[in-house]
Structure 1
């Protein structure tokens, strides 16, 4: 049996879970109210806007979003219907497909970004001092790397 958390760690865990859920909900509500975009829509648009050619293979995009392939397919299909992205065959091999940012998607991102940035500042960043921001960055960068490594290990083929 796994040892339970001490009072301080349990308190920190619960505070994290409750505050992060409230923060995510608030950020998503603000984003939807200002732009009609979901947080997932916005994240897809940001990732595509940041890469050369504004296109990513579906598998790479799923990995960066931490989405299952089926969830990404649903997300991209929804965004495609709204004209925010297109799905095209990969020019290199033709077997896979890529999500491609459209002009409408780039415009939607540019219009949403100032509102989203204001929300992030208002509900999180403006309440933190430089040391707290640095601490959050260290913690979540380290945790993200460890979890990403654990995903690769858990999805690696096993020898029987």
Structure 2
């Protein structure tokens, strides 16, 4: 397994970045995105555990709820995060036990359950969001080349202009 502290310039360039293989540009771009998001996720695991004391999967649930004021149905969360409903039920129970989410029945639907963030979760996310955003930006710029960083800046303006020196 590769050393996560190794700078990408110390490693051979990813073949999919070179554009000399059989894959069309869309598939090359997809492979670069997968690799970069994998690097971000590996770094986020530790930061999320330290700052929020939840698992990475639980963090994804919190992020989804943070963007949906008023709550989200459990079936929709499972769909958006591609999670089995039974696994999501366990994660929601853990988050509820930690005081980070609430569950309530959906009016008019006996089986429907809606989940929402608590004020505690909103406060924790707000306090941790700066460090989490820095982690994302730093890992993307560590992994992606200049052309990919330029494209990413259209989505995330805070992605650094230059590759960090390490």
Q: Same fold per TM (> 0.5)? A: yes
Give the aligned partner of residue 50 of structure 2. Answer: 33
Give the aligned partner of residue 102 of structure 2. Answer: 86
Quote the Cα distance in structure 2 between the aligned partners of 1:123 and 1:132: 15
> Deviation per CA, 1:72-116, whole angstroms, max 9, x where unpaired?
101101101100001111124232111121111111211221111
The two structures have a TM-score, normalised by structure 2, of 0.63
Query: Among residues 100, 120, 124, which one is paired with 1:104 in the alignment?
Result: 120
* Change in 2 beyond 3 A, CA 1:19/1:124: closer
4+ long deviations beyond 6 Å: 12-18
* Change in 2 beyond 3 A, CA 1:18/1:75: same
* Change in 2 beyond 3 A, CA 1:41/1:26: same
The two structures have a TM-score, normalised by structure 1, of 0.65
Give the aligned partner of residue 136 of structure 2. Answer: 120
Quote the Cα distance in structure 2 between the aligned partners of 1:23 and 1:52: 26
Quote the Cα distance in structure 2 between the aligned partners of 1:112 and 1:134: 22
Quote the Cα distance in structure 2 between the aligned partners of 1:23 and 1:131: 17
Q: Is there any run of 5+ residues in structure 2 with no aligned partner, and where? A: 1-19, 156-166
Q: Is the 8 A contact 1:31 1:115 kept in 2?
A: no
Whose helix proportion is higher, 1 or 2? 1
Number of corresponding residues: 129
RMSD: 3.1
Quote the Cα distance in structure 2 between the aligned partners of 1:89 and 1:112: 30
1:68 pairs with 2:84: yes
Q: Is there any run of 5+ residues in structure 1 with no aligned partner, and where? A: 1-6, 137-160
For residue 100 of structure 1, give the secondary structure of its aligned residue in structure 2: strand
